[in-house]
């Protein structure tokens, strides 16, 4: 097999079977013509090195075969802006999801916070690269029509969020920009999803149940068992609302309505928790009872702080419901000019 | 950051890309094989890279604008291309479009 045959065989291996023979025959003719022209120019037959130079100048077999295929990018220019936006959003999700367990771990067990950054980096790289890979496979599938978008590709101007990026800044508090609103919604989605996963036992709690440097342990009070389904339902509605804020920011009224529902449910839950008084029961690891004073002191402190927290929650949720009700009715009106 | 020369070269290639198809179609009113077509274009001042020409010929054929057949010439089988009847109609329309664009641009860049 001479160099030309070897070169053409390498190209042929990369061509579609149906056209292989035809394209290779034409390439052979082109290359032989080029070699003959060169020979006529030099007035002598080409040596092996000169023949190889002609083949090399024609292009690498992968490039030559690629020119005869259907030219198609993995992610085309039409899809690329959406792909790039999605990848950025996924990287934020990966960063936040990787940071939360590390931060909680550092707060609950300050002594074990040494490898925090390494744990974050390891988790972020693994999660981020997996997400980018999944987004690329999804994008390539959409690009090739394997994944039909159907109505998902449709959009309405009326669904765009009411942003103030072009409006003159008012005096007093600056308004939130589009990125800030989206980021908040994204953060809500991540936190609520993590809460649901933890609440349903699908992922372990990222904090320790025993108090650092002591034999005391914290156990959930019986009230939480009674609130299992109400809390799960509340988190589900919150997740739906956050997803609307992230994916359909123009649905102002739908989100406000869900936020009102969440706020009312949260208010009811806060009242129940306030009445229950005790949310965490302090106990001792093992059967020992040598630290009864410490247990009683911590229990009182926790009861007091949770009671205060529930009171603040009730106040905050009442304000939030009022704000969302105002937004619900303002959302019905025309957008400000 | 791209240099001025790179920017110019990119724009020049974009400008040429569409016109090359018109030139190829126009040259194939007469039957030619690939290499002969390339030489004919070079003689009128339109150099075209082989890597672009042959895939373009196949694409135009798959679109029904060209027909081709294998024939022996100079003791070697060669693939000859020429305009199909559909290709002639498309060439006429593209030529009219080109003349209109040319007239408009002549006025603009005068």
Which CB contacts under 8 angstroms, 24+ apart, belong to A46-53? A48/A3, A51/A3, A51/A4, A52/A3
Q: How distant is the Cα of B84 from the closest Cα of chain A, in angstroms?
A: 20
Query: In terms of domains, do A61 and A88 share one?
Result: no
Query: In terms of domains, do A204 and A316 share one?
Result: yes
Query: In terms of domains, do A180 and A144 share one?
Result: no
Q: Please report, for residues A29, A84, B31, B75, B78, the alpha-carbon distance to residue B71 in angstroms, rounded to integers and kept in the order given.
A: 12, 50, 12, 10, 5
Please indicate if any CB of chain A lies within 8 Å of the CB of B79.
yes
Please indicate if any CB of chain A lies within 8 Å of the CB of B110.
no
Query: β-strands B32-33, B66-73: how paired?
Result: unpaired
Domain residues for the domain of A102 are: 80-149
Asked if A27 and B54 come within 8 Å (Cβ–Cβ), the reply is: yes
Query: In terms of domains, do A105 and A239 share one?
Result: no
Please indicate if any CB of chain A lies within 8 Å of the CB of B54.
yes
In this predicted model, what pLDDT tens digit does every residue of A233-249 receive, in sequence order? 988 988 888 888 877 77
- C-alpha angle A265/A101/A90, rounded to 5°? 80
Strands of B76-83's sheet in order across: B32-33, B76-83, B66-73
Report the pLDDT value the prediction gives residue A323, as an integer from 0 to 100: 76
SS3 category, A162: coil
Q: How distant is the Cα of B71 from the closest Cα of chain A, in angstroms?
A: 11
Q: Please report, for residues A29, A42, A46, A57, B68, the alpha-carbon distance to residue A39 in angstroms, rounded to integers and kept in the order given.
A: 15, 5, 6, 16, 29
Query: In terms of domains, do A241 and A324 share one?
Result: yes
Query: In terms of domains, do A182 and A321 share one?
Result: yes
The whole-angstrom separation of Cα A70 and Cα B58 is: 11
- Please give the model's pTM, rounded to 2 decimal places: 0.53
Nearest to A257 by CA among A157, A180, A163, A332: A332
Please indicate if any CB of chain A lies within 8 Å of the CB of B34.
yes
The whole-angstrom separation of Cα A6 and Cα A292 is: 86
In this predicted model, what pLDDT tens digit does every residue of B71-107 receive, in sequence order? 888 788 888 999 999 999 999 999 999 999 999 999 9
Does the interface predicted TM-score (ipTM) exceed 0.90? no
Domain boundary among A149, A165, A200: A149
Overall domain count for chain A: 3
The crossing angle, in degrees rounded to 10, of helices A3-12 and A61-68 is: 50
The domains of chain B, with CATH numbers, are: 2-109 (1.10.10.10)
State yes or no: pLDDT of A166 exceeds 80: no
For residue A263, give both structure tokens: 């706020």
Query: In terms of domains, do A56 and A85 share one?
Result: no
Query: In terms of domains, do A190 and A281 share one?
Result: yes
């Amino acid at each position: 097999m001479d160099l030309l045959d070897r070169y053409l065989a390498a190209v042929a291996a990369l061509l579609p079977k149906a056209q292989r023979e035809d394209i290779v025959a034409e390439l052979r003719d082109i290359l032989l013509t080029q070699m003959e022209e060169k020979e006529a120019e030099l007035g002598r037959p080409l040596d092996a090195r000169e023949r190889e130079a002609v083949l090399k100048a024609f292009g690498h077999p992968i490039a030559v075969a690629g020119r005869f295929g259907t030219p198609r990018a993995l992610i085309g220019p039409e899809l690329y802006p959406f792909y790039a936006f999605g990848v950025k959003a996924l990287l934020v999700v990966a960063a936040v999801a990787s940071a939360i367990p590390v931060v909680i771990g550092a707060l609950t067990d300050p002594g074990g916070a040494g490898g925090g950054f390494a744990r974050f980096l390891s988790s972020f790289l693994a999660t981020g690269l997996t997400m980018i890979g999944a987004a690329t496979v999804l994008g390539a599938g959409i690009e090739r029509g394997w994944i039909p978008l159907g109505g998902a590709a449709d959009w309405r101007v009326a669904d765009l969020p009411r942003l103030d990026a072009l409006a003159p800044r008012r005096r007093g508090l600056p308004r939130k920009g589009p990125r800030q609103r989206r980021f908040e919604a994204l953060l809500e989605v991540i936190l609520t999803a993590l809460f649901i996963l933890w609440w349903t036992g699908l992922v372990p709690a990222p904090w320790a149940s025993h108090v650092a440097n002591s034999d005391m342990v914290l156990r959930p009070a019986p009230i939480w068992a009674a609130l299992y389904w109400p809390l799960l339902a509340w988190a589900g509605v919150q997740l739906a609302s956050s997803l609307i804020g992230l994916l359909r920011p123009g649905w102002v009224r739908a989100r406000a309505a869900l936020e009102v529902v969440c706020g009312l449910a949260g208010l009811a839950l806060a009242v129940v928790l306030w009445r229950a008084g005790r949310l965490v029961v302090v106990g001792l690891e093992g059967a020992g009872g040598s630290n009864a004073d410490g247990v009683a002191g911590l229990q009182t402190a926790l009861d007091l702080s949770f009671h205060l927290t529930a009171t603040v929650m009730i106040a905050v949720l009442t304000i939030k419901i009022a704000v969302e009700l105002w937004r619900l009715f303002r959302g019905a009106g025309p957008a400000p000019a | 950051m791209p240099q001025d020369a790179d920017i110019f070269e990119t724009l020049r290639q974009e400008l040429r890309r569409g016109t090359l198809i018109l030139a190829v179609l126009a040259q194939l009113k007469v039957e030619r094989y690939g290499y002969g077509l390339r030489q004919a274009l070079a003689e009128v001042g339109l150099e075209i890279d082989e890597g672009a020409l042959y895939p373009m010929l196949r694409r135009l054929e798959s679109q029904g604008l060209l027909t081709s057949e294998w024939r022996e010439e100079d003791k070697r089988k060669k693939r000859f291309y020429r305009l199909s009847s559909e290709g002639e109609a498309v060439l006429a329309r593209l030529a009219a479009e080109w003349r209109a664009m040319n007239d408009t641009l002549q006025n603009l860049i005068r």
